[in-house]
Amino acid sequence: MKLPAATGLRRLGRRAARAALVAVLALVFSSVLAVALLRFVDPPTSAFMLQRRLAAWRQGEPFTLHHRWVPLAGISPNLQAAVVAAEDQKFASHFGFDVEAIGDAVEEHLEGRSSRGASTLTQQVAKNLFLWPAHSLLRKGLEAYFTVLIEALWPKHRILEVHLNLAEWGPGVFGAEAASRAWFKKSAAALTPEEAAALAATLPAPRSRNPTAPSPQVRARMDWIEEQATHVKLDW
């Protein structure tokens, strides 16, 4: 017997809803599993590294990626403290979001002033590891989602370890070890406080700032970071 059109449409709608629910649950499960695994497995690459390769290929430009993973113990405490001081001084105490910094950024934006950065180290890890650089509500929503997962499943020292190994410190230079060798001809474990502050000072614009020949503005930021880093306490 032929079903009425309305009944058929309702059944089709229910099937579509179930399929959508299954797809969403599968995506959630796979993302949770991926984040859980990456607590213990060092990522060999990141979304940002892949995007840099793809952009160079599209533009027909030569591109060499320099990256070598090292454990946190192989990165100077000077650099660990400098990056926390420069980018996220509440790193040890927040749950992934600096609510005060976000509020200040929103206020500055509403007043028409240049908005300061409000991303925590955890948010930067979520973006660099899984997402894309363009600003959009979808990307910001996914960034928040992955930030919550990372904070829930990783200890703080793992978040810092991944951040220091994925951050870009020059054109095609990713991670503290590659950066240390590219700029200072030494391992990341041997960085002095001044060298660490120089690297941390370039992070807002790593492709245009040279830590070995800083501008007066970057030099001033270096001095501030080096002083602030003395107050950073790392408990690992």
Do 31 and 96 lie in one domain? The reply is no
User: 82: part of which helix (H) or strand (E)?
Assistant: helix 77-87
CA distance 30 to 23: 11
Do 126 and 206 lie in one domain? The reply is yes
CA distance 118 to 98: 7
Between CA 43 and CA 48, with CA 46 as vertex, the angle to 5 degrees is 165
CA distance 225 to 86: 6
Q: Decide: helix, strand or coil at residue 67.
A: strand
Do 20 and 71 lie in one domain? The reply is no
User: 170: part of which helix (H) or strand (E)?
Assistant: none
pLDDT at 43: 96
Contact 213, 200 (CB under 8 A): no
Do 91 and 142 lie in one domain? The reply is yes
The amino acid occupying position 85 is A
Do 158 and 140 lie in one domain? The reply is yes
Query: Structural domain tally of the chain?
Result: 2
Whether residue 235 lies inside any domain: the answer is: no
Whether residue 236 lies inside any domain: the answer is: no
Between CA 60 and CA 74, with CA 179 as vertex, the angle to 5 degrees is 135
Whether residue 185 lies inside any domain: the answer is: yes
pLDDT at 117: 60
Whether residue 162 lies inside any domain: the answer is: yes
Residues 6+ away with beta carbon under 8 Å from 149: 31, 32, 35
Do 33 and 44 lie in one domain? The reply is no
Instruction: For residue 6, give its domain range.
Output: 1-37
Residues 6+ away with beta carbon under 8 Å from 161: 71, 72, 75
pLDDT at 114: 52
Per-residue pLDDT of the chain (236 residues; tens, 9 = 90+): 555 666 777 777 888 888 888 888 888 999 999 999 999 999 999 999 999 999 999 999 889 999 999 999 999 999 999 999 999 999 999 999 988 877 766 666 566 655 446 699 999 999 999 998 878 899 999 999 999 999 999 999 999 999 999 999 999 999 999 999 999 999 999 999 999 999 999 998 999 999 999 999 999 999 999 999 999 998 87
Q: Decide: helix, strand or coil at residue 3.
A: coil
Do 9 and 80 lie in one domain? The reply is no
Do 4 and 90 lie in one domain? The reply is no
Do 51 and 144 lie in one domain? The reply is yes
Supply the pTM of this predicted model.
0.88
Contact 162, 43 (CB under 8 A): yes
